[in-house]
Structures are given as structure tokens and as C-alpha cells.
Amino acid sequence: MATLGGFLNSTLVATDQNTNLVLQDAHERVIRTPDDDEPSVQVPLGLYLVRGDNVCTVGLVDEKLDESIDWSAVKGSAIGGIKHV
């Protein structure tokens, strides 16, 4: 998850002391709201760099569980903004 509201799924290749990330085979999950008729989508990004100040969470994914989910049918509402202090 990034602070800009996106969800990236990929393989972490490298990181540094500033939490900058190098991601391989990345794709962004665009989750639509429940009132949107369009399906949610996954946008392929390939090799992707993320600046550390845009990183919110990095974690492991259960690949079997992830592959079993029909992401086009997933809907969700915004979880709110962030506040930098």
C-alpha cells in the first residue's frame, strides 16, 4: 500500500535506508467503489521504483490465497487520508 492510495503487488528486489523500493513484475490494483459499475482492474507496471516517502506498508503475501481471489469482483471504499506531521 502506498500513501497515494494505491495497492502494488510485486516482488521486492531491493530497498535502502530511505525505504526506496525496487519492485519487479509490479502491478497496481485499482479497487472500485461499491457504487461503481466497472470491475476493479490490475494494471501491469513491470519494473517499478517507489520513493520511500510514498511507502506505507510492505509485507508478505500468501501467493496461493492471492491467486484464488477474483480481484475484478472486489469492491471497497476509501479508508481515509493521511496527515503528515
Tell me if 85 is assigned to some domain.
no
Tell me if 29 is assigned to some domain.
yes
Tell me if 65 is assigned to some domain.
yes
Per-residue pLDDT band at 27 (split at 50, 70, 90): very high
CA distance 47 to 49: 7
Tell me if 83 is assigned to some domain.
no
Tell me if 52 is assigned to some domain.
yes
- CATH code for the domain of 48: 2.30.30.100
Domain count, the chain: 1
Residue 14 domain boundaries: 7-73
Tell me if 18 is assigned to some domain.
yes
Tell me if 24 is assigned to some domain.
yes
Minimal CA–CA distance to 7: which of 83, 84, 74? 74
pTM over 0.75: no
Summarised one tens digit per residue, pLDDT across range 63-74 is 999 999 998 898
- Residue 44 makes CB contacts below 8 A (sequence gap 6+) with 26, 27
